[in-house]
Amino acid sequence: MHNRFLERLCLIRGGQWNDNEEEAENEIYKEARECLTLLSQRLGFDKFFFGNSPSSLDAIVFGHLALLLKAKLPNSKLQQHLRSLDNLCILCTSILGLYFPNVGSGLNAAQRIFPRITPRILMKTLTRDASRSYRWSWGFPP
């Protein structure tokens, strides 16, 4: 299974992928941190990505960030990086307050909305989306 995943990464990236599991994991975390940083820079000081009202991009970003904020991961480097990006955390809190007022706010609300997300599912989703975002940023179709 692991080799199949590395082969997929190699195909997506269009080059060789190192078989060293630790290096591969570090590269994935590096790309995920870069994606979070780019999202934070794009959001800036705005409440939502395209102005004062949420868009589909806000919904997609919220779906991933709310999971990442609360999921129990074996390595919390990515969570720590996300928590250091205040504007993305505020975006999640705003969307929780707007669309899930009965759930409450904060990180526990994300856990109540997405109770069965495992770290493996989260990492697969983040890896896939990081790869697609990276390819899209260089002009390749997702």
Number of domains in the chain: 1
Question: Which residue range forms the structural domain that includes residue 52?
Answer: 2-137
Q: Give whole-number Cα distances, 84 to 69, 79, 103, 116, in Å.
A: 11, 9, 24, 25
Q: What are phi and psi of 127, to 5 degrees?
A: -65, -45
Rounded to an integer, the average pLDDT of 89-115 is 69
Residues near 7 by Cβ (< 8 Å), separated by ≥ 6?
Answer: 17
In the predicted structure, residue 120 carries a pLDDT above the cut 90: no
pLDDT of residue 2: 58
pLDDT of residue 66: 87
142 within some domain: no
pLDDT of residue 40: 93
In the predicted structure, residue 42 carries a pLDDT above the cut 70: yes
Give the model's confidence band at 46: pLDDT under 50 very low, under 70 low, under 90 confident, else very high: very high
In the predicted structure, residue 118 carries a pLDDT above the cut 60: no
Most trustworthy range by pLDDT among 6-15, 19-28, 64-73, 123-132: 64-73
pLDDT of residue 87: 93
Degrees (nearest 5) of the Cα angle 24, 28, 30? 115
81 within some domain: yes
| Cβ atoms 120, 106 nearer than 8 A | no
In the predicted structure, residue 111 carries a pLDDT above the cut 70: no
pTM, 2 dp: 0.62
24 within some domain: yes
| Cβ atoms 69, 89 nearer than 8 A | yes
